[in-house]
C-alpha cells in the first residue's frame, strides 16, 4: 500500500469512528410510563420524555412511540434510540417499568405483581415459563381493549374510572356495563357468553388474548 492510499484509508476510518461510537451509545427499549397532559392543548405524552411545544429540555431527547392504556394515565412506550445514560436515569423512577433487552427470557422481576396490578394490569395468570415478550403482548392487547371501550363510550371513559381489577362487572353502572358489552361485541363475541359476576381481571385478560396470534406495531417496531 502506497503512502497516499494509506492516508486516505486513515481519514475514512477516522470519519467513521464517531458514528460507530454513537450507535453503540443508544439502544431500543420498551417501558411502561405515566402519561402527562399538556396544559392548554390537552396533548397526552409520556412523562420523562420530550413532547409538546414547548417541551421540557430536561426530559429525554429520543425517538419514541407509545400505546395508551385507553384513557388511563399509563402507556406502553418504545424508545427507539435512548442513550444508556438516559435509560439508567429513567429506571430509577418508581413509576417506570423497564422491560429487559432480552424479551424472550422468563419473567423473574419480583416487582412485577405490585407494579402491574397497581395500574390495573392483571398478573395472576403468569407462570414460571411466561416470557417478557408474552407479558408485553398481553399488556398491549389489554390496552387495545380499553382503547375500544373508551371510543365506544364517546366520552373518553376507561373501564377503571370507577373500578379496579377485583370489581365485578355487575358492580359497574348500567351505562358502563353497556359500553363493556358493546366493546366485547365489537370483537365479534356475544354478550350472552358473559357472566357478569366475574371480576374485571378475568375479562380483560381474555380480551388481551384476542391478539395472541397477531402482530403488534408501535411506531413501526414489531413485537
Q: Is residue 6 part of a domain?
A: no
If asked whether residues 145 and 85 sit together in one domain, one would say no
Q: Is residue 16 part of a domain?
A: no
Given 80, 98, 116, the domain boundary residue is 98
Residue 29 in grid coordinates: 427499549
pLDDT of residue 53: 84
Of all helices (H) and strands (E), which one includes residue 37? strand 26-37
Q: Of residues 167 and 38, which shows the higher confidence score?
A: 167
pLDDT of residue 11: 38
- Contact between 180 and 172 under an 8 Å Cβ cutoff? The reply is yes
pLDDT in tens, 34-58: 999 998 888 999 999 999 888 899 9
- Picking from 142, 137, 105, the residue whose alpha carbon sits closest to that of residue 122 is 142
Within 13 Å, how many C-alpha atoms sit on residue 16's CB side?
6
Q: Give the torsion through C-alpha atoms of 173, 179, 185, 191, to 10 deg.
A: 10
pLDDT of residue 106: 98
Q: Give the torsion through C-alpha atoms of 134, 138, 143, 145, to 10 deg.
A: 150
pLDDT of residue 169: 98
Rounded to whole angstroms, how far apart are CA atoms 44 and 90?
Answer: 19
If asked whether residues 85 and 161 sit together in one domain, one would say no
Percent of the chain with pLDDT over 70: 89
Judged against a pLDDT cut of 80, whether residue 26 lies above it is answered with: yes
State the pTM of this model: 0.87
Q: Is residue 137 part of a domain?
A: yes
Given 79, 98, 117, the domain boundary residue is 98
Give the C-alpha distances (Å, rounded to integers) separating 5 from 1, 14, 18. Answer: 6, 14, 22
* Helix, strand, coil percent values for the chain (each to nearest 5): 40, 20, 40
Within 13 Å, how many C-alpha atoms sit on residue 117's CB side?
13
Domain encompassing residue 160: 131-215
pLDDT of residue 165: 98
Q: Is residue 170 part of a domain?
A: yes
pLDDT in tens, 90-133: 999 999 999 999 999 999 999 999 999 999 999 999 999 999 99
* Chain mean pLDDT for the chain: 90
Rounded to whole angstroms, how far apart are CA atoms 120 and 113?
Answer: 10
The residues, ordered by sequence, that sit 6+ positions from 77 with a Cβ below 8 Å of its Cβ are 30, 31, 32, 33, 46, 49, 64, 65, 66, 67, 218
Given 74, 98, 122, the domain boundary residue is 98
Q: Is residue 144 part of a domain?
A: yes
The residues, ordered by sequence, that sit 6+ positions from 204 with a Cβ below 8 Å of its Cβ are 122, 142, 145, 146, 159, 165
Say how many domains are in the chain: 2
Task: Categorize the per-residue pLDDT at 10 as very low, low, confident or very high, splitting at 50, 70 and 90.
Answer: very low
pLDDT of residue 213: 82
Amino acid at each position: 500500500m502506497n503512502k497516499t492510499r494509506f492516508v486516505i484509508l486513515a481519514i475514512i476510518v477516522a470519519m467513521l469512528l464517531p458514528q460507530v461510537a454513537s450507535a453503540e451509545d443508544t439502544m431500543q427499549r420498551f417501558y411502561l410510563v405515566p402519561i402527562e397532559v399538556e396544559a392548554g392543548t390537552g396533548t397526552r405524552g409520556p412523562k420523562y420524555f420530550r413532547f409538546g411545544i414547548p417541551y421540557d429540555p430536561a426530559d429525554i431527547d429520543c425517538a419514541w412511540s407509545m400505546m395508551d392504556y385507553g384513557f388511563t394515565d399509563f402507556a406502553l412506550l418504545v424508545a427507539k434510540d435512548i442513550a444508556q445514560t438516559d435509560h439508567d436515569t429513567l429506571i430509577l423512577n418508581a413509576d417506570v417499568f423497564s422491560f429487559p433487552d432480552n424479551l424472550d427470557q422468563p419473567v423473574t422481576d419480583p416487582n412485577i405483581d405490585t407494579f402491574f396490578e397497581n395500574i390495573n394490569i392483571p398478573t395472576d395468570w403468569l407462570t414460571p415459563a411466561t416470557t417478557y415478550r408474552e407479558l408485553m403482548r398481553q399488556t398491549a392487547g389489554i390496552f387495545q381493549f380499553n382503547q375500544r371501550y373508551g371510543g365506544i363510550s364517546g366520552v373518553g371513559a376507561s373501564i377503571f374510572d370507577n373500578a379496579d381489577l377485583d370489581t365485578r362487572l355487575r358492580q359497574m353502572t348500567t351505562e358502563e356495563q353497556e359500553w363493556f358489552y358493546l366493546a366485547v361485541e365489537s370483537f365479534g363475541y356475544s354478550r350472552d357468553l358473559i357472566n357478569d359476576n366475574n371480576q374485571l381481571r378475568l375479562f380483560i385478560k381474555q380480551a388481551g388474548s384476542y391478539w395472541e396470534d397477531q402482530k403488534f406495531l408501535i411506531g413501526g417496531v414489531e413485537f
